[in-house]
Structures are given as structure tokens and as C-alpha cells.
Amino acid sequence: MSERVIVALSGGVDSAVAALLLKRAGHAVEALHMSNWEADEDGYCTAAADWQAARAVADELGVTLHRVSFAAEYRERVFREFLDDYRAGRTPNPDVLCNREVKFGVCLDYARRLGATRLATGHYARLDTGAGGPRLLRARDTDKDQSYFLQQMPRAALGSALFPLGELVKGEVRELARRAGLPVHDRPDSTGICFIGERPFRAFLSEHLAPLPGPIETADGVRIGTHQGLMFHTIGQRQGLGIGGQRANSGEAWYVAAKDVGRNVLIAVQGHDHPLLLSREFATGPVRWLGTPPAAEFECGIQVRHRQADVPARVHWSAAGARLTLAAPLRAVAPGQYAAFYRDDQCLGGAAIAAADAVERSTPQTAASA
């Protein structure tokens, strides 16, 4: 059945092919290019080039292109939380928040005001619209699957979303674009966080949060170096510690194992799989379910970062949050990351990690030691 669909046209090949497929399917397609960050003048922001690429695609497809800025909403709902998380020692994922607050929040509302019944994006994910209501599924292309980033979508938005690329692999998408003569068929994929782009992360963060140097200690409390700010480090990180080999130690590489925000101390250990880097249990904040919530205790697969294989887990949850016990230890579970809950290919929902218990730690690792 033909519908009036707005495609979120970013200027990349994925959203361009999403629009192409929907138009070929007979839908009344219009496009919407949104900017979520005010363009800067340092050469890192690609907003101007993205807009020109989106215009070229819309012209080639013969679809109306709308343009809107959600920069104010993005700063309030995404960027502010991003900074708050880093300030508290957590490791945030702004892409998850952007999908929840902007793409399937204010952008979906805007598309509806334009008269659309659906908002389509170039995400690699699938939707199943069976009798039990819409379900979010992994994409056919498991390497590109982006259901992890959609785990926090408002439940009500699932019924208004379309993911035309869900059954395709990336190579097929580029070939479709090339054959259709789309001018972005060979445009490189965007990388990094949208408002940072390719700029040095530490320099960007320093523009918004004041660095606070402090000691680097071993798990036994021995000082071995100085960090420039806990915000510059995440659990499991190897690069950038500046401590090298230490006399009377093993000579193995050093990794960030914990942050003691109260004391402003970074705790480092030696060895990629040190027990303090491994967790069998962790707790989350409140869970956002994409469908009918499961029983208070159930088993599922857990994914704590993009492209990571599921780990079987037993989940105990309530309105306050969830406690997960893993079948096998996960490395570098960091407060602030999102945990997605899966049953086979279905994403059930997700939650932000609040605290993780290391295999060998008497107290849980929390972002703020509180």
C-alpha cells in the first residue's frame, strides 16, 4: 500500500538508497535534511557538504527536499547529557541518544506535521509488523547492523519507522546507488561522533570541560603516573596513559581498569585480560522496552557495544533498573555504555550501564564512586 513517507536524507549513500527503494515501491516520497550541529569554521564539520550532497540526491530522484535545524534540541537533549556523563566519569553514546531524542523524537514529529505517515532512515535494521505489534530486528548485514543504536527508540515510534536497507548488505547498497546514477554512490561513510567528526577528541572535549589532572595508580594504590583528566579515558583503554613499562612490574601493557571520581584517580592494570577488566555481573538504570516487557526474571543475549557478539545472560529487572548475570565474562564494561537486550534477532530494548562488578573486585566499579 502506498504511503506518504519522509526520508531523513543525510547526504550519504545509505539514506539515498532508502529514498530510491521507497520511490520504486510506489510511495509518495519526500526528503528531509536535518542539521543537528551548528557548522564551525575549523574544517571538521561536514554540514555544508552534506547539504549539497542531499540536494544532489533529491534532484536526481525528483523528490521534494525539506531542510530543518534541530541544533537547539540536540544540544539540550543529547550534547548536554554527553558532557554530564563525561564530567561524572562515564562513557556516553550520543548516537543512541540522538536516535531516541532527535531522529525518532523531534524529527518524527516534524515529518508528521509535513503530512507523512512514516519516517524512513538509512539504518541497517529490520522491522517485523506481525499481530503482536512491530518488532525491531537485526539487519541481514550483521557487520553493519545498527539495531544496537536504535535500542532506546520510543516504543510508539516503531510503528511509524521504516528501514528499507534491512535486507541488504552494504555492497548491494552501493551497487544500487551506482546503477541508479546517484551522485553519492561512492561517497565515504561518515565516521566518529557527528558533532566531533574527525577532529582530535581530547582537544574537542577540552573546549567544553576543564581538564583536571590527577594520579594514575595500580590496583594496590601505588602511584605510577599522572592523567590529565578522567574524561579522557575509558575502561579498557590502552593508548594515551603515558606510563610505559614500570620497574618491578610484568612489562605487559597497561590498561584503564577503573575510575575513582571522588579521589580523581585513574586505576590501571597490566594485561589485556586482567581480572579487573572482566565482569560477570553489572547493573543498569531503568530499561526502555520496545514491546511488552518480559517477566521480571528472564534470559536473553546482551550486547554492550556495536558489532559485539551477544553474551547469554540472566536478567532480573524492575522499574528502577536491571541486574544482569552473564554466562561468560565481558571485557571493559563501562558505566555510561548502553546494554541492548536481544532474543535471537529481536532487540527487546536497552538501558544505560550504572555499575559493573569485576571478576576480582570487592566493590563494584561505578562512574562516580557514588
* Spatial CA neighbour of 366 closest among 271, 282, 301: 282
In degrees, to the nearest 5, what angle opens at C-alpha 92 toward C-alphas 90 and 93? 160
> Phi/psi at 120 (nearest 5 deg)?
-105, 145
Q: Which residues are catalytic?
A: 98, 194
> Phi/psi at 300 (nearest 5 deg)?
-160, 180
* CA 236/CA 258 separation, integer angstroms: 9
Order of strands, sheet of 214-217, starting from the edge strand that comes earlier in the sequence: 223-227, 214-217, 265-270, 254-260
* CA 274/CA 260 separation, integer angstroms: 18
**Residue indicated by cell numbers 538509512:** 122
What are the C-alpha distances in Å from 171 to residues 23, 76, 165, 177, 185? 20, 37, 11, 10, 11
What 3-state class would DSSP assign to 116?
coil
* CA 296/CA 351 separation, integer angstroms: 15
* CA 16/CA 167 separation, integer angstroms: 16
Asked if 304 and 313 count as a contact pair (C-beta separation under 8 A), the reply is: no
**Residue indicated by cell numbers 549513500:** 13
Residue type, 300: C
Asked if 144 and 170 count as a contact pair (C-beta separation under 8 A), the reply is: yes
**Residue indicated by cell numbers 563494584:** 364
How many of the other CB atoms lie within 10 Å of CB of 262? 10
Residue 43 makes CB contacts below 8 A (sequence gap 6+) with none
> Phi/psi at 365 (nearest 5 deg)?
-80, 120
* CA 26/CA 93 separation, integer angstroms: 36
